[in-house]
């Protein structure tokens, strides 16, 4: 009997400290679903080289890498099912980046939204790595012949660039890399608790994010501050809120939009970590009591991560186990990466 060849899935997460609920739903949540599906062969890694493109403390980086690996394992990423590794363990990522650098027009990188965004926000540190970030990402993916890349919408442009780079390479040196597609499995939007018209992000401060390691009390304390409007009546549908936010551009949202975005953010958390039916019931039973809504949102999120938190506490006692898992993953990844590079060196004429 022949079974279809599994599709190659590649994805990475930066080791930027503890995951928040938005990071979790944007990446790891989908990794967990895919890892059990025999249609896919998964390579998941900690993108430590990417994380160096913004200011960081070298004294903290190692800890952040191990902490991210611990989080991934405690969340249920299974190194028996997927190849889990640290990007910088595989030097071929850098080698392939260099080769891709020579075929990628600068104008393509100048167009990248994330680069424009980050170089505006970190004007004191617009380094070459930040500019080249998407090329490294293309190398991450194509080194393993990645066909599907589970990511959030903000990374789609980078996956499209990966496809462009594969095309340039194939045209110039002969058909070699596959076509890569983003895998956009319904990733719910999680908004900042403090500025709900923006996406949840650590850069908006501690109180704006729910960390997956937060206790119920910590979660509730942050959720309590979410701006809501006064009436308890949902005067804008979720889609209208999204459209209004999209139309804002750089201008400031008004109080009503902020309040409605805050309410839908709470409902969205309940939908993800409780159930859609629970949200339907709440919406049907307007006016909403925001005190209760906030308590419920914090409860559902805390319940969901309780199992993880217990697993994490146990794993944190065994950092050598986490190190061993990464070393094993690196061995598996390196084998594939070396085979790819052996061919690439020939194709480009170095060997």
Contact residues: ligand TRP, CB under 6 A: 10-12, 14, 47, 50, 137, 140-141, 149, 151, 155
> Choosing from 61, 202, 207, 256, which is the catalytic residue?
202
In this structure, what are the phi and psi dihedrals at residue 82, rounded to the nearest 5 degrees?
-125, 165
Per the listing, tokens 């780079």 go with 165
Smallest distance, ligand TRP to C-beta of residue 133, A: 7
| Sequence-ordered list of residues with C-beta below 8 angstroms from that of 291, at least 6 positions apart, any chain | none
- The CA dihedral of 126, 14, 319, 217, to the nearest 10 degrees, is 110
Active-site residue, 318 included: no
Nearer Cβ to ligand TRP, position 67 or 155? Answer: 155
Smallest distance, ligand TRP to C-beta of residue 12, A: 3
Pairing between strand 40-46 and 83-86? parallel
Nearer Cβ to ligand TRP, position 14 or 228? Answer: 14
Smallest distance, ligand TRP to C-beta of residue 45, A: 7
Active-site residue, 7 included: no
Nearer Cβ to ligand TRP, position 137 or 208? Answer: 137
Three-class secondary structure of residue 47 per DSSP: coil
The rounded distance, in Å, linking the Cα atoms of 98 and 105 is 13
Closest of 18, 40, 19, 14 to residue 185, by C-alpha: 40
- The CA dihedral of 44, 49, 52, 54, to the nearest 10 degrees, is -60
> Choosing from 199, 222, 258, 294, which is the catalytic residue?
199
Active-site residue, 331 included: no
Smallest distance, ligand TRP to C-beta of residue 121, A: 14
Smallest distance, ligand TRP to C-beta of residue 148, A: 10
Nearest position to ligand TRP, beta carbon: 12
| Sequence-ordered list of residues with C-beta below 8 angstroms from that of 137, at least 6 positions apart, any chain | 12, 47, 50, 158, 161, 162
Three-class secondary structure of residue 167 per DSSP: helix
The rounded distance, in Å, linking the Cα atoms of 141 and 7 is 13
Nearer Cβ to ligand TRP, position 185 or 275? Answer: 185
Three-class secondary structure of residue 7 per DSSP: strand
Nearer Cβ to ligand TRP, position 288 or 330? Answer: 330
Smallest distance, ligand TRP to C-beta of residue 149, A: 5
Integer CA distances (angstroms), 175 to 103, 168, 348, in order: 15, 10, 12
Nearer Cβ to ligand TRP, position 165 or 219? Answer: 165
The rounded distance, in Å, linking the Cα atoms of 76 and 296 is 25
Please list the active-site residues: 118, 199, 202
């Amino acid at each position: 009997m022949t079974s279809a060849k599994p599709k190659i899935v590649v994805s990475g997460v930066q080791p930027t400290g503890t995951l928040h609920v938005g990071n979790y739903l944007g990446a790891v949540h989908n990794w967990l679903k895919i890892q059990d599906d025999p249609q896919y062969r998964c390579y998941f890694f900690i993108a430590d080289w990417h994380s160096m493109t913004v200011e960081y403390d070298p004294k903290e980086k190692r800890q952040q890498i191990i902490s991210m690996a611990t989080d991934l394992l405690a969340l249920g990423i299974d190194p028996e099912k997927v190849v889990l590794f640290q990007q910088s363990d595989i030097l071929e990522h850098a080698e392939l980046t260099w080769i891709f650098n020579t075929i990628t027009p600068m104008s393509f990188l100048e167009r990248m939204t994330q680069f424009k965004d980050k170089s505006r926000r970190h004007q004191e540190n617009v380094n070459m790595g930040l500019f080249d970030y998407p090329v490294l990402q293309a190398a991450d993916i194509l080194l393993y012949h990645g066909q599907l890349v589970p990511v959030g919408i903000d990374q789609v442009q980078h996956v499209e660039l990966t496809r462009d780079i594969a095309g340039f390479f194939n045209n110039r040196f002969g058909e070699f890399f596959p076509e890569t597609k983003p895998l956009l499995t319904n990733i719910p939007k999680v908004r900042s608790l403090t500025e709900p018209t923006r996406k949840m992000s650590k850069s908006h401060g501690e109180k704006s994010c729910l960390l997956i390691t937060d206790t119920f009390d910590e979660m509730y304390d942050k959720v309590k501050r979410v701006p809501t409007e006064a009436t308890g009546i949902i005067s804008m549908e979720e889609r209208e809120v999204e459209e209004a936010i999209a139309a804002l551009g750089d201008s400031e949202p008004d109080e009503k939009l902020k309040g409605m975005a805050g309410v839908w953010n709470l409902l969205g958390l309940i939908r993800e970590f409780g159930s859609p039916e629970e949200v339907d019931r709440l919406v049907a039973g307007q006016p909403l009591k925001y005190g209760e809504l906030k308590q419920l949102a914090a409860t559902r999120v805390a319940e969901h991560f309780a199992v993880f938190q217990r697993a994490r506490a146990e794993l944190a006692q065994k950092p050598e186990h986490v190190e061993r898992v990464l070393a094993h993953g690196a061995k598996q990844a390196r084998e594939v990466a070396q085979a790819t590079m052996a061919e690439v060196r020939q194709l480009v004429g170095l060997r």
